[in-house]
Amino acid sequence: MSEVQNISKLVGTSLNVNAHLHTPYSFSAFDTLTDALDRAKKEDVSVVGINDFYSMDGYLDWNLECFLRRLYPLFNIEFISLQKEDMAAGVRVNDPNNPGRTYLSGKGLAYPIILTEPFAGELAEVREESNAHVEKMCGKLNELLASAGADFRLNFAAIKKELTKGSIRERHLAKALRMEAYKRYKGKEEVADFFEALFGGKKLQADADNHAAVENEIRGNLLKAGGAAFVPENPKAFLPLDNVCKIILAAGGIPTYPFLADDAKGGFTDFEQDVAKAAEVLKQRGIYSVEFITTRNSTEALERYATYLHEQGFVVTFGSEHNTPAMEPVKLSVRGGKPLSPALVEIGYAGACVVASHQQAVLNRRQGYLDARGNADIAHRDEYIKDGNEIIKKAVAPNKYMPPPKS
């Protein structure tokens, strides 16, 4: 019996999971954290993971609001790191446009939060650097608005206060610019003319009523590389991957590599095109957990990669991100909106069970799935799956008394 076939023997019925959701504590399609959870409940998603950039600020609300809805909360975080060796070699890892740049998540962090110095300081510093970078882009946008003859400017402090929970991303600038333009220009033609001037003569492709598409065009035309308001990021904004892993471990979490896998044209990055080689390198780097944003991928590629990695002992989880303006279902699907196959549902739930078991062990001051050095207890992964399944199903079962959550 394969490892995947064994999952149902360990857990019985697999529940729906979304282990990677951004909230307004970074940038999110959701206006409120509770909106994400209400949608999860309505769509029969039982396990939900908060996964904001550089932030654990939403954990208290996530914990309480999941408890009130009988959802099981996972406490995660996301970083952008830098692998200098890959950058020097021109290797694209999981950023298709920037060699060496590597996104990394931490899964199952301790809550209440345990992060101490020097790790808390490193996290605060990289977050401040990220905010400072966006502030520079805001300045460039204002210069562009002045040169285009616009009668308004963007107020960075106001954007941070009104549209964010402290962490500001370039998507917030795109949203703020779209909102300010719509206040001043009436009708689709005026809006389109304004953006055509701002885009240097390039016409707005999206319908003005499609706010998400307009914001994506603002970001793509002005804020990304080659855009008039683009500002190259300071290397200080990216910690080395080893440092990020240390922060995640210090916070009680599991370092997790997000796979891009296949794009719409069937292509893969340099690092990911050979899944066996990628798996070997990840283990060498002390990473024993992976995740996929399923809407990016075809069923064939996702099943091939996820099954192989699960069979190789990795913890495999799935999520949707929701870190763009577009609102999609919380219940996961593959590219094109097709539902996850039964095998993928089982793999994703098994991974969530390991994270839940680890998270509970750390909460109770016991060793979880990783030891103090970050080594995974792969030989006993099935035991973590069984334990996590019991923890989750007890938490989400209707009409069962549960003590209030720790805060």
Considering the domain boundaries, does residue 402 fall inside one? no
Segments of the chain scoring below 50 in pLDDT: none
Q: Does residue 281 lie in a domain region? A: yes
Do residue 271 and residue 135 come from a single domain? Answer: no
In a domain, 403, yes or no: no
174 is a domain residue: yes
Token pair in block for residue 256: 């997790």
Buried b (16+ CB within 10 A) or exposed e, 254-276: bbbbbbbbbeeeeebbebbeebe
Do 205 and 298 fall within a single domain? no
242 in a structural domain:
no
pLDDT of residue 1: 53
* In-domain check, residue 121: no
| Residues 76 and 30 both lie in one domain | yes
pLDDT of residue 407: 65
Shared domain for 71 and 182, answered yes or no, is no
Same-domain pairing of 107 and 144: no
Contact by Cβ (8 Å): 29, 322: yes
Q: What whole-number distance in Å separates Cα of residue 217 and Cα of residue 192?
A: 12
| Secondary-structure breakdown of the chain: helix, strand, coil percentages, each rounded to the nearest 5 | 45, 15, 40
pLDDT at 400: 67
- pLDDT, position 402: 66
Q: Report pLDDT digits (tens) over 313-342.
A: 999 999 999 999 999 999 999 999 999 999
Exposure on the CB side of residue 404, measured as CA atoms within 13 A: 3
- 361 lies in some domain: yes
Question: Are 63 and 191 members of one domain?
Answer: no
Residues 303 and 343 in one domain: yes
pLDDT score at 372: 86
pLDDT at residue 235, rounded to an integer? 74
Report how far residue 382's alpha carbon sits from residue 388's, in angstroms, rounded to the nearest whole number.
Answer: 10
Q: Which domain holds residue 87?
A: 7-114+251-396
> Which domain CATH number covers 377?
3.20.20.140
Of the candidates 171, 35, 53, the residue with the CA atom closest to the CA atom of residue 163: 171
Domain boundary among 184, 204, 223: 223
Q: Token match 């990020």: residue? A: 244
pLDDT of residue 302: 98
Over residues 89-101, the pLDDT tens digits come to 999 999 998 899 9
- On whether both 110 and 186 belong to a single domain, the answer is no
Do 277 and 381 fall within a single domain? yes
- Say whether both 388 and 256 belong to one domain: yes
**405 part of a folded domain:** no
Residues 380-392 as b or e (16 or more Cβ within 10 Å = b): ebbebbbbbbebb
Burial 12-35 (b: 16+ CB within 10 A, else e): eebbbbbbbbbbbbbbbbbeebbb
Q: Which residue type, as a one-letter code, is found at position 17?
A: V
pLDDT computed for residue 334 by the predictor: 98
Asked if 66 and 190 sit in the same domain, the reply is no
Any idea what the Cα angle at residue 218 is, between residues 212 and 220, rounded to 5°? Answer: 100
pLDDT for res 4: 79
Q: Final residue of a domain: which of 204, 223, 242?
A: 223
Are 139 and 92 within one domain?
Answer: no
Tally of domains in the chain: 2
CA distance 373 to 309: 22
